[in-house]
Amino acid sequence: MQHTKTAFVFPGQGAQYVGMGKDLYDNYPLARELMVQANEELGFALTDIMFEGSDEDLRQTRVTQPAIFLHSVVACRLLNQIRPDMVAGHSLGEFSALVIAGTLDMGDALRLVSERALAMQEACELCPGTMAAVLGMADDKVAEICQQIPDCVVAANYNCPGQVVISGSEVGVEQACKALKEAGAKRALKLPVGGAFHSPLMQPAAERLQKAIMNTPFYAPICPVYQNVSACAEKDKHVIQRQLLEQLTSPVRWTQSVQQMIADGATRFYEFGPGDVLKGLIRKINAEVEVG
């Protein structure tokens, strides 16, 4: 009988909510210890904002990214009895995946996440942009239409069949939404985000983050990591390090990553972190697998 493989997956920005992680902090000494360490590492009380900040406070990129990362890693660390056969994370979630795979030390990863958040915030101010969700159109058709728009716009997140997020300049996204609707997309709606994530407009963030990533020790993972950039099983720490940087300006190939994990034997997926966005996407990618 074929061994059933277990995949751990971790969400990205957008999964946050006020009160996130408070139950873990209150009930588990390990969670409290890791969260207190994170506050010290960051130099501000991240947990105060997570537990009782306003939605607006929690939506600031410099807060959101470390908060989701911390919640995800802590939730996974508390489940010690299962070891994953493979891991993946959606955008920011890739950092959580790399900690659980043993490729990054938790403190180092938290510092990188914090630096990434600040770098992305700065890039958003330097190169303003936006994103839009496109529903009911094939992935390659969305990418093809984006390529025809003169202004900067790209397919940025392949979330599940029939759901692609595009990213670029205000004008580029506006023109692409119009063209996509004319070409038969069910909907093309702008998202309430502060910038053009996973597009060439994030190049200043990649430049700022490069030194930090290259100066951080990376270790060989204990299991394959399915990265956003390639959607393939990666085990070489140098490739993982390079693709973690490339991820800022490249699309998140989530559909392709999940399909590849299933092709490589994954029958069970566990999502760790706030919310359950990825569970929904995985069910749409393949209704046969077990999602928990």
Q: Which one from 71, 72, 90, 91 is the annotated catalytic residue?
A: 91
- Rounded Cα distance between 227 and 64, Å, is 21
Q: Measured on CA atoms in the order 198, 288, 225, 95, is the torsion positive or negative?
A: positive
List strands edge to edge, sheet with 86-89: 233-234, 225-226, 86-89, 5-10, 266-271, 290-291
Which residues 6+ apart lie within 8 Å of 28 measured at CB?
78
Q: Give the pairing type, strands 290-291 and 266-271.
A: parallel
Q: Which one from 198, 199, 250, 257 is the annotated catalytic residue?
A: 198
What is the secondary structure of 185-198 as a DSSP string? -SEEEE---SS-TT
* Whether the Cβ atoms of residue 139 and residue 255 lie closer than 8 Å to each other: yes
- Rounded Cα distance between 140 and 144, Å, is 6
Q: Is 280 helix (H, G, I), strand (E, B) or coil?
A: helix
Is position 54 annotated as part of the catalytic site?
no
Residue closest to 7 by CA, chosen among 69, 75, 83, 58: 83
* Whether the Cβ atoms of residue 195 and residue 248 lie closer than 8 Å to each other: no
Is position 71 annotated as part of the catalytic site?
no
What is the secondary structure of 229-261 as a DSSP string? TT-SEE--HHHHHHHHHHGGGS-B-HHHHHHHH
Residues with catalytic roles: 91, 198
